[in-house]
Amino acid sequence: MRKVLVLSGDGINSERELGRGFSDQGAIVSYLHVNELLKNPAKLKEYQLLALPGGFSFGDELRSGKILAEKLRDTLSDVLTEFLKNDGRVIGVCNGFQVLAQLGAFDWETGERSFTLAENNHGNFMDKWVRLTIPSKARTLSPWFKELDGSLFLPVRHREGQIVPNTRNIQLPFSPLQYEEDINGSHQRIAGVVNSTGQVFGLMPHPEVATHSFLHPFREGAEDNARKGQMIFKNGLK
């Protein structure tokens, strides 16, 4: 069972929900203020899974996730490279995804970012549940999606969630989650991506608040949907 490190502080506001997704599956979860990790990057070596929650890190000054991404780049790049080489896992949800995208975590090998997360094409902040599809090949391309496919129903809460390729012909990372309908102009309706090894997973929807049926806004299919939400966390720990 992997030990999980969940970042907190400086505008991050969903750390307990994200951590509980893993602790409900039996994981040992620790919470660490981002400044403490920046002071001691080697701390990451004590864990096998790094989780970046949602919120508004550093008030989303400049743009969403930018400041935290630059801080992590300056101090954590070497440690994170070693972490991934040792089969470490990373998940970033909503603002955490924005941080990973700004960091270039999905294109770590090439060092050239393939996409950015821009403001929704309608210009509005969204807070609603949306239907997603999981391509069947996600099972084999990412450990986060072992034994998962079909559909999923999750909430989104964001203003900057539109995935935009950095150039027209660039190859984007694989998407294990796509919106059933276009909700924000995201390229190919992408809701989340994984890196080439499948270890790093970022998504705009919030699976951490959909792991129990009583949290869902519907009854029919709620148990199965909750089970799928739980599977994401369970798979991340394997």
Give the CATH number for residue 208: 3.40.50.880
Report the number of distinct structural domains present in the chain.
1
- Catalytic annotation present for 212: no
- Catalytic annotation present for 70: no
Dihedral pair phi/psi, residue 142, rounded to 5°:
-150, 130
Give the model's pLDDT for residue 55.
80
pTM of the predicted protein model: 0.93
d(CA 72, CA 19): 20
pLDDT tens for 176-204 read: 999 999 999 999 999 999 999 999 999 99
Mean pLDDT over residues 100-106, rounded? 92
Q: How many Å separate Cα 85 from the centre of its chain?
A: 19
Domain that holds residue 140: 3-236
| 34-42 contact pairs (CB < 8 A, 24+) | 34/7, 34/8, 34/9, 34/10, 34/68, 34/71, 35/9, 35/10, 37/5, 37/7, 37/76, 38/71, 38/72, 38/75, 38/76, 41/75, 41/76, 41/78, 41/79, 42/79
- Catalytic annotation present for 208: yes
Q: Which of 158, 160, 208, 216 is catalytic?
A: 208
Q: Which of 94, 119, 158, 216 is catalytic?
A: 94
Helices (H), 108-192: 138-141
* Residue 212 or 110, more confident: 212
d(CA 195, CA 93): 15
Using pLDDT thresholds of 50, 70 and 90, give the confidence band for residue 28.
very high
* Residue 109 or 228, more confident: 228
